[in-house]
Amino acid sequence: MDAGPGFWLPRQGSTSAAKVDFLFRAVTNISIFFFVLITVVLFYFVWKYRARPGHTAQPSADHNQKLEITWTVIPLLIVIWIFWEGFAGFLDLQTPPINAYEVQVLGQKWKWLFTYPNGVVDDNLHVPPDEPVRLVMTSQDVIHSLYMPEFRIKRDALPGRYEREWFQATAPGEYQIFCAEYCGTSHSGMIAKVIVHRSRPEFEAWLAEAGNFLDKLPPEKLWEGGQKLYNQRGCKQCHSVDGASGIGPSFKGIWGHQQPLTGGGSALVEENYVRESIVNPQAKIVAGYEPVMPTYQGRLKDKEITAIIAYLKTLE
């Protein structure tokens, strides 16, 4: 069976794709075969036994035991085979190999985030080739569904619980990820890529480099790293950069200004205030907002907080 994209199905990118396609085609072809057979026989009998002048009705035939047993047993064996193949494939897709490489997946409106064992967070799913990869998936808000057509897998990401999904990519390249569960305004924009690296060392090299992307930035570009963190780490969901009020106050134009606080008083937005608001968000609540922000202590490194501060300074 070819691995390239066909007219009916996308290319086969994982070890399970060929098995899924085989069964899918088998069920489709069996359905077409019986549909044609039954329809042809039906029309033939309608024509053969039609009412016509000079034709007298014959007493209808009694049953034919051999024929009835045949058309009961053969389909029964076929559906048992379909069940068996489907069930075996289902169990296979449900059971990640024990040595699989693990990536954490977080669905959120409207973005996928992939977290690697060394703490790297990326918008795309990078994996080594020819190795089983286990995804441990959850959602930050509503139900999403991680769908990778070329790998023939799809599974819901649910808030408050973990779902598992696994695959083994067979060829390097880029593959599409969709969200397959309607989750609101930008559901159709909730797309990402699977990037299957050419080898395990190449994947490791990418991972190491992604782990210290801030170190690679010159000081005057540090704010770009902060912008990336703002987009990736969940700041964006509550804090706008265009002045619009969200779950939290906008970041636009607050640097160097006083923020009125709940319970009176105000705070100057400078480095220590921003740092405190990230690691201990309940310490000072801006007037008019709820104390709902979770702490980022341990989730953002000092260098990352510095980059976010640098980004805030650019939002005048």
The one-letter code for the residue type at 288 is G
Sole binder of ligand CUA in the list 127, 181, 278, 309 (CB under 6 A): 181
Q: How many residues sit close enough to ligand CUA to count as binding (CB under 6 A)?
A: 9
Nearer to ligand CUA, 192 or 305 (CB): 192
Residue among 126, 144, 152, 197 that touches ligand CUA (CB under 6 A): 144
Cα→Cα distances 288→52, 88, 252, 255, Å: 86, 56, 17, 19
Decide if 147 contacts 214 (C-beta within 8 A): no
Taking residues 183 to 222 in sequence order and writing x for each that binds ligand CUA by CB under 6 A, - otherwise, the string is x---x--x--------------------------------
Residue from 133, 169, 179, 222 touching ligand CUA (CB under 6 A): that is: 179
Q: How far is the CB of 181 from ligand CUA (least distance, A)?
A: 5
Under the criterion CB under 6 A, does residue 21 sit at the interface with ligand CUA?
Answer: no
Residue with tokens 């299957």: 196
| Binding segment (CB under 6 A) for ligand CUA, from list 75-83, 175-183, 218-226, 303-311 | 175-183
Tokens read off for 301: 């490194």
- For ligand CUA, which stretch binds (CB under 6 A), given 54-62, 65-73, 178-186, 248-256? 178-186
CA 44 to the chain's CA centroid: 50
CB of residue 158 vs ligand CUA: minimum separation in angstroms?
12
CA neighbours within 13 Å on the CB side: how many for 70?
5
Tell me whether residue 160 or residue 264 sits nearer to ligand CUA (CB atom).
Answer: 160
Closest contact distance (angstroms) between CB of 239 and ligand CUA is: 21
CB 126 to ligand CUA: min, Å: 20
Residues facing 179 on adjacent strands: 146
Residue type at 209 in one-letter notation:
E
C-beta closer to ligand CUA: residue 113 or 267: 113
CA 251/CA 307 separation, integer angstroms: 14
Q: Considering the complex, what minimum distance in angstroms separates the CB of residue 203 from ligand CUA?
A: 26
Question: Cβ 107 to ligand CUA, closest distance in Å?
Answer: 6
Q: Does 155 bind ligand CUA (CB under 6 A)?
A: no
DSSP H helices in the chain: 17-48, 65-94, 200-211, 213-216, 222-232, 271-279, 302-313
Q: 93 exposed, middle or buried (CB, 10 Å; 0-12, 13-18, 19+)?
A: middle
Which residues, 6+ apart, have CB-to-CB distance to 125 below 8 Å?
A: 103, 105, 112, 114, 135, 177, 192, 193, 194, 195
Region binding ligand CUA by CB under 6 A among candidate stretches 15-23, 160-168, 180-188, 227-235: 180-188
Backbone angle region of 83, left / alpha / beta, with phi > 0 → left and psi within -120 to 50 → alpha = alpha
Please report how close the Cβ of residue 122 comes to ligand CUA at its closest, in angstroms. Answer: 17
Residues making contact with ligand CUA (CB under 6 A): 107, 110, 144, 179, 181-183, 187, 190
